[in-house]
Amino acid sequence: MNLLRCLLVLSLFLLGGCDNRKSDDVIIFGTSADYPPFEFYQDGQVVGFEIDLANAIANDLGKRAEFKDMPFSSILLALAKGQIDVALASMTPTKEREEHCAFTKTYYRSVVGVVYKKGSAVPDLKGSDDVTVACQLGTVQEDWVKRNCRAKRISIDNVASSVEHLKTKHVDGIVVDGIVAVALCKENPALAWTVVATLDESGTAMGLKNKSRLVEKIDAVLDKLENSGVLAQLKEKWGLKDLVQSTEGEEPAK
């Protein structure tokens, strides 16, 4: 019996020891690939602005980027558990999140948009409890809806499935980052969008474990990519327009 227990302990130890995901030449990025143009599936592959950015960063650091797709709401937990090295999910550095992780510099700023069916009225999120809106679980948009809207809210784990809910009229709108709204409308010509808010906490950055030395390294590469114009090229490639500048004081974009 004792021998059995020893063997069990030994095998658990060996298994633990075999967890070589901490191989030094790989950076594991945890993402939620339902958020075009940041990260999404195209022909079975995860692609997007942040995927290119992560690859460029890993490459510059002499490492290989590996991507783990998971629900957005699980990413910070996976980071805390050490299952991933970097949260890469168009994540906004909020004060609340900063209590649990460290963020790199921000490399994009967004607005809050609502996507709705073309031909329907723009859903009156703030004023009416007669409309239902979908937002992604654990996002700043979910928080914004909770705090500011009378509309009924459905929190959904996957943005792609919220598009289905909209098409089948289970909801009247989806609240997402503005540039994602642009991408969703491009993919689905029956949809339109408009800006509903510009938040103070609206940047996009990568999240790492507190005190991770990788933060400074990634920041240095981000500076390099910005100065060399590569960051701007990637934004151009993926259609990451500056919506904060272009929408302030203007009629909402359709």
Residues lying near ligand ARG in the complex (CB under 6 A) are found at 32, 34-35, 38-39, 72, 89-92, 136, 139-140, 159, 177
Q: Which of 70, 78, 63 has the alpha carbon at shortest distance from 23?
A: 63
User: Both tokens of residue 148?
Assistant: 């500011």
Whole-number CA gyration radius for the chain = 20
The amino acid at 217: K
| Nearer CB in complex with ligand ARG: 89/151 | 89
**Euclidean distance between CA atoms 111 and 92, whole angstroms:** 11
| Nearer CB in complex with ligand ARG: 145/214 | 145
Instruction: Give the torsion sign (CA, 218, 223, 229, 233).
Output: positive
Helix (H, G, I), strand (E, B) or coil at 163: helix
Shortest separation between residue 208's beta carbon and ligand ARG, angstroms: 15
Shortest separation between residue 53's beta carbon and ligand ARG, angstroms: 13
Cα distance from N-terminal residue to C-terminal residue, the chain: 71
86 DSSP β-pair partners: 29, 208
| Nearer CB in complex with ligand ARG: 4/241 | 241
| 72 and 156 Cβ atoms separated by less than 8 Å | no
Shortest separation between residue 97's beta carbon and ligand ARG, angstroms: 8
| Nearer CB in complex with ligand ARG: 54/91 | 91
**Euclidean distance between CA atoms 132 and 134, whole angstroms:** 7
| Nearer CB in complex with ligand ARG: 139/194 | 139
Shortest separation between residue 163's beta carbon and ligand ARG, angstroms: 12
Q: How many Å separate Cα 4 from the centre of its chain?
A: 46
Shortest separation between residue 123's beta carbon and ligand ARG, angstroms: 19
| Nearer CB in complex with ligand ARG: 56/159 | 159
Shortest separation between residue 12's beta carbon and ligand ARG, angstroms: 35
Shortest separation between residue 73's beta carbon and ligand ARG, angstroms: 9
| Nearer CB in complex with ligand ARG: 94/132 | 94
| DSSP per-residue string spanning 26-76 | EEEEEE--EETTTEEEETTEEESHHHHHHHHHHHHTT-EEEEEE--GGGHH
